[in-house]
Amino acid sequence: MRPDILNPLFAEVQALKGVGPTLAKPLDRLGIARVVDLLFHLPSGWVDRVARDELMEGDVGRTITITVTPREYRTSSSPRGPTRVQAVDAHGNHVSLVYFGGSSGWAKKQLPLGEAKRISGKLEQYGQELQIIHPEIVGEDDAFREREAIYPLSEGMTSRRLAGLVEQALGRAPALAEWIEPSLKARHGWPDWREAAARIHADPADATARARLAYDEVFANQLALSIVRADTRRRRGRALAGDGRLRDMLRLPYQLTGAQARSVREIEGDMAQSSPMLRLLQGDVGSGKTLVAAMALLIAVEAGAQGAMLAPTEILARQHFETLRRTLAGLPVEIAVLTGRDKGRAREATLMGLADGSIHILVGTHAIFQEAVGYRDLGLVVVDEQHRFGVAERMLLQDKGRQPPHVLAMTATPIPRTLTLALHGEMDQSRLDEMPPGREPIETRVVSEERVDEVVNALGRHLSEGKQAYWVCPLVEESETSDLQAAEARAAALASRFGDRVGLVHGRMRGAEKDAVMARFSAGDTGVLVATTVIEVGVDVPNATLIVIEHADRFGLAQLHQLRGRVGRGGGRSVCLLLRGSALSETARARLALMRETNDGFRIAEEDLRLRGAGELLGTRQSGEAMFRLATPELLGELLPAATDDARLLIDRDGGLEGERGQAARVALYLFERDAGVALLRSG
Ligand code: ADP
Ligand code: MG
């Protein structure tokens, strides 16, 4: 339960004066739904207003504040032309105040002739005269703030307006007990939380206040991870020591890579402990995570327990099932698959097998953790593409075994080392930083969109050689519909040339429909698969050796890398064509060039972070919602070590967060909405 003291901050914005449904809309577009969101909507910049009593050409380009007296109106001859109000300062210098947009009535009313007014705006030179376009106006004796915050805006919202709302929000902000370690706070000269919040909005340049708020956010994040980590360590799970008898029976056509062997050893070491494993296996697409997972599952079975493998989608679940069945063929190991689509007798049989232990390994979607599914002795859970699952889902797993099972999470999204601690600090890490031998790197080319006809010709040649291809359609922001239209249009265009060899798969399709399309592609019945980004991570069609990605500049690098990983799965050469628009920014160019240059996902992740900032990477953990609002990538990098140490130390000393600082830290968890772990807090 959220502490009462925070209630005023978690009220809806509509609780503020002047905020009704009309204003709520543009606020909502900015992600501001509650009072606290206003506080954390930090200024992106500021204007300094220089107070002057005389107009000077030297001030052109500056935002000035000055008292002037209107002398004359000059309306334009055309009805849509600007209204110019001629005014003079105290020394008789002229300035023209310009208003665009229709009627002159408004200007005349605001600026009556002969009445001195204090105005503020950016001074410009227009021919021989000085002018200010749309100056802000106050009475003669009122003052402007010298420094004014500029906020990220949406249509229908101004910085002024936001500043007013932020002021109300600040008025509701309670003083909170300090959660920062006193010596750390003193060393940085950080203000209290509420003061820091007030200061950053009053003066966006206040680096000390900004750092304090960022630290709070990072600290809350690390604290939540530390709680999960401590909780896992404290639980008594079951030591699973495999005797190797099943693994020895495996007849693999290849040797494990060094990285695979090392990861298996790390996993084996963890599973032999009685505190449950919580380990993340990071490995680029194609690095061989499935085999590592299979080894871990075999260890569990050797030790007499069951294993489960959780996949984010139906297609992936079935594919893992097939792979495991092939890999473990000939071993006395029973494998089953269970997804939301399995019903009736087959499902009943699977449930029985799980309950009586005759099924050793279950692969499936989240359906495998439904209440009705009971295991005889679940010892290990492997979570594939773990970023698609939240902490909450992982906690559900913990309840399925008689004792909490070991957890091996896997991700094909390489994460920069600097971010690993912030994203996955609760888990131990294994990295597959070595590719299986004999893999030919995918050849990547960047092609201008204007040359799409040539690309289609190349596709034609490719298909006529009996090979297959993916064609990925643009990601249109915030509009699933236009995504779909683009993909449909492309599929139709290709079909007019290649007929029924064109398949289409997109996010709006139902599971069965999607599977049917995928199955036809897998079987080679269709030659080219047009897809929105739904082509699943991990989908494996070795004969598909060409991938075309439209509007490649609109994808994140990590995403491009993932998509590219759909090809290069068989032997032989694979090609990735990145279609780019004509007007590209420097950064966009650099990013696409990087894709051409390297196939190393870890390197791409590091560079992407450098080129673009952490925002998107950080946002990927839980379905799009950004993890850090206050901590910029730079601040995150700077503050992370201290925040992690401090959080772990606090949990070591006061695991239940019962003491004075502990109680304050609890409030921070709620303030930054990292409270999912609070339920795990050790009481007493
Ligand atoms: P990931 O899930 O990490 O993307 P996979 O587990 O699907 O990668 O493995 C990709 C391909 O590499 C599979 O076809 C697999 O059989 C093969 N593979 C895995 N390990 C090795 C190895 N040590 N040597 C050769 N090929 C391997
Ligand atoms: Mg995989």
- Say whether 520 sits in a helix, a strand or coil: helix
Which one is predicted more confidently, 607 or 576? 576
CA–CA distance from 582 to each of 390, 446, 450, 458, 476 (Å)?
A: 39, 12, 8, 21, 17
- pLDDT higher than 70, residue 390: no
Give which of 651, 680, 180, 636 is closest to 420, Cα–Cα.
Answer: 636
Question: Quick one: pLDDT band at residue 279, thresholds 50, 70, 90?
Answer: very high
Range 80-109 average pLDDT: 87
Which single residue is written with the structure tokens 């990072």? 218
- Give 443-598's CATH code, choosing from 3.30.420.10, 3.10.20.30, 3.40.50.720, 3.40.50.300: 3.40.50.300
Cα separation of 364 and 347, whole Å? 12
Taking phi first (over 0 means left), then psi (-120 to 50 degrees means alpha), and beta for anything else, what does residue 362 get?
Answer: beta
- Say whether 66 sits in a helix, a strand or coil: strand
Is the domain spanning 1-44+159-174 CATH 1.10.150? The answer is: yes
Which ligand has an atom closest to residue 284 CA?
1
Instruction: Note the pLDDT of residue 109.
Output: 86
**End-to-end alpha carbon distance in the chain:** 18
- Say whether 6 sits in a helix, a strand or coil: helix
Nearest protein Cα to ligand 1, atom 23: 256
Range 189-205 average pLDDT: 96
405 and 375 in contact (C-beta within 8 Å)? no
491 and 530 in contact (C-beta within 8 Å)? yes
* The two three-digit tokens of residue 36, written as one number: 């606290």
Instruction: Note the pLDDT of residue 97.
Output: 94
Give which of 635, 633, 639 is closest to 611, Cα–Cα.
Answer: 633
Domain boundaries of the chain, sorted by first residue:
1-44+159-174, 47-137, 245-432, 443-598
Give tens-digit pLDDT for 149-184: 999 888 888 888 899 999 999 999 999 999 999 999
The conformation of residue 405, written as its DSSP 8-state character, comes to: P
Q: Best of 252, 263, 291 to mutate for ligand 1, by most ligand atoms within 8 A of CB?
A: 291
* The two three-digit tokens of residue 358, written as one number: 């005759």
Which single residue is written with the structure tokens 């599914």? 373
Would you mind telling me the total number of residues written for the chain in this entry?
Answer: 684
Nearest protein Cα to ligand 1, atom 10: 286
Specify the pTM: 0.73
- pLDDT higher than 80, residue 318: yes
Give tens-digit pLDDT for 669-682: 999 998 877 777 76
Pairing mode of beta strands 45-48, 129-133: unpaired
DSSP bridge pairs for 504: 530
Give which of 294, 319, 325 is closest to 307, Cα–Cα.
Answer: 294
Instruction: Note the pLDDT of residue 636.
Output: 85
* The two three-digit tokens of residue 45, written as one number: 């910049």
Cα separation of 653 and 656, whole Å? 9
E strands of 392-541, at which residues? 406-411, 428-432, 443-448, 468-472, 502-505, 528-531
Give tens-digit pLDDT for 522-544: 899 999 999 986 565 556 788 99
From the CA of 289, give the closest atom in ligand 1: 3
As for ligand 1, residues whose beta carbon falls within 6 Å of it are: 254-257, 260, 283, 285-291, 412, 436, 538
Range 93-113 average pLDDT: 85
Could you tell me where the DSSP H helices lie in 357-470?
A: 391-398, 417-424, 452-464
* The two three-digit tokens of residue 488, written as one number: 């449909």
Which one is predicted more confidently, 580 or 137? 580
- Ligand 1 centroid–CA 268 distance in Å is 20
Angle at CA 535, nearest 5°, toward 529 and 538? Answer: 120
Range 202-211 average pLDDT: 95
Which single residue is written with the structure tokens 């040359």? 451
Cα separation of 24 and 244, whole Å? 62
- pLDDT higher than 80, residue 144: no
**Beta carbons within 8 Å of 651's beta carbon, 6+ residues apart:** 223, 226, 227, 230, 657
**Is there a common fold for 1-44+159-174 and 47-137?**
no
Average pLDDT, the chain: 88
Cα separation of 10 and 2, whole Å? 10
> Which superfamily is assigned to 245-432 in CATH?
P-loop containing nucleotide triphosphate hydrolases (3.40.50.300)
Q: How big, in percent rounded to 5, are the helix, strand and coil portions of the chain? A: 45, 20, 40
436 φ, ψ to 5°?
Answer: -55, 145
Describe the crossing of helices 633-653 and 660-671 by its angle, rounded to 10 degrees.
Answer: 140
- pLDDT higher than 50, residue 632: yes
- pLDDT higher than 60, residue 654: yes
From the CA of 327, give the closest atom in ligand 1: 16
- Ligand 2 centroid–CA 289 distance in Å is 6
- Ligand 2 centroid–CA 293 distance in Å is 10
The conformation of residue 255, written as its DSSP 8-state character, comes to: P
CA–CA distance from 305 to each of 247, 377, 591, 668 (Å)?
A: 15, 5, 46, 40
- Ligand 1 centroid–CA 470 distance in Å is 21
Tell me the one-letter amino acid at 113. L
Question: Quick one: pLDDT band at residue 507, thresholds 50, 70, 90?
Answer: confident
Cα separation of 420 and 572, whole Å? 34
Question: Quick one: pLDDT band at residue 618, thresholds 50, 70, 90?
Answer: very low
Pairing mode of beta strands 83-88, 94-99: antiparallel
Give which of 193, 194, 197 is closest to 43, Cα–Cα.
Answer: 197
Instruction: Note the pLDDT of residue 460.
Output: 96
Describe the crossing of helices 452-464 and 480-498 by its angle, rounded to 10 degrees.
Answer: 60
Query: With 0-12 CB in 10 A as exposed, 13-18 as middle and 19+ as buried, what is 511?
Result: middle
Give tens-digit pLDDT for 408-445: 999 887 787 777 888 888 889 999 989 888 778 899 99
- Ligand 1 centroid–CA 267 distance in Å is 18
Instruction: Note the pLDDT of residue 621.
Output: 35
Cα separation of 188 and 184, whole Å? 6
Instruction: Note the pLDDT of residue 476.
Output: 54
Nearest protein Cα to ligand 1, atom 20: 288
The conformation of residue 427, written as its DSSP 8-state character, comes to: S
- Ligand 2 centroid–CA 570 distance in Å is 14
Q: Which CATH architecture has domain 47-137?
A: Beta Barrel (2.40)
Instruction: Note the pLDDT of residue 342.
Output: 87
Nearest protein Cα to ligand 1, atom 25: 436
Instruction: Note the pLDDT of residue 205.
Output: 93
> Largest alpha-carbon pair distance within the chain?
99
Instruction: Note the pLDDT of residue 482.
Output: 63
3-state helix/strand/coil string of 451-474 = HHHHHHHHHHHHHHCCCEEEEECC
DSSP bridge pairs for 94: 88
Q: Best of 252, 255, 285, 290 to mutate for ligand 1, by most ligand atoms within 8 A of CB?
A: 290
* The two three-digit tokens of residue 413, written as one number: 């999204």
